[in-house]
Structure 1
Amino acid sequence: MKSYYNWHCITLEALCGKIMVAGQITISDRYQIRSALLNDTLSEPEQILINRLLYGIRHGLLRIAD
C-alpha cells in the first residue's frame, strides 16, 4: 500500500530512498517524516524504513543537513 504523507505527494519509500542516496537528511525531509509519524497509520515496512534511517543517523552513515 502506497501512502502519501507530505506536501509533495511522495511516498515514504521514495523519500527514504532519496535520503539514503543523498547520504543526508534535510529539514524538509524531517518534517515529512514527522508528518508520517503523526499520521499514525504506518505499515510495518514503513516503520522499518524509518528505523533504518534512524540507525544510519546514529551510526554516522547519514548526516543531518540544516
Structure 2
Amino acid sequence: MKSQYRWHSIPIEALCGQIMVTGRITISDRYQIRSALLNDTLSEPEQILINRLLYGIRHGLLRIID
C-alpha cells in the first residue's frame, strides 16, 4: 500500500526557517527537500541550509516526525 502525502511547494529558505523554528521536520518537508535535491534546482545557499538541517538532525537538535 502506497502512502500519499500532499505538500505545498514553498521556497526552500522559508521551509528551512520553519523547520528550524519548530525544531521538527515532517514527512511533507522531507519530500519537498528530496524533490528539490533530485531536480538539482538548489542554489548554493539553499544547499548550505539543507546541510545545516542535516547537521541538526544528526546532533539531535531537530526531530523527524511523521
Task: Mark yes or no: TM-score above 0.5.
Answer: yes
Structure-2-length-normalised TM-score: 0.85
SS of structure 1 residue aligned to 2:46: helix
Q: Provide the C-alpha distance between the structure 1 equivalents of 2:65 and 2:8, rounded to a whole number of angstroms.
A: 19
1:1-66 aligned within 5 A? 8-66=8-66
Identity of aligned residues (%): 88
Structure-1-length-normalised TM-score: 0.85
Unaligned runs of 5+ in 1: 1-6
Q: Provide the C-alpha distance between the structure 2 equivalents of 1:16 and 1:57, rounded to a whole number of angstroms.
A: 12
**CA distances 1:25-59 after superposition (whole Å, capped 9, x unpaired):** 00010000001101102111000000000000000
Greater radius of gyration (CA): 2
Number of residues paired by the alignment?
Answer: 60
Unaligned runs of 5+ in 2: 1-6
Task: Using the TM superposition, give the Cα deviation of residue 9 of structure 1 relative to its aligned residue in structure 2, in angstroms.
Answer: 3.5
Aligned Cα root-mean-square deviation (Å):
1.0
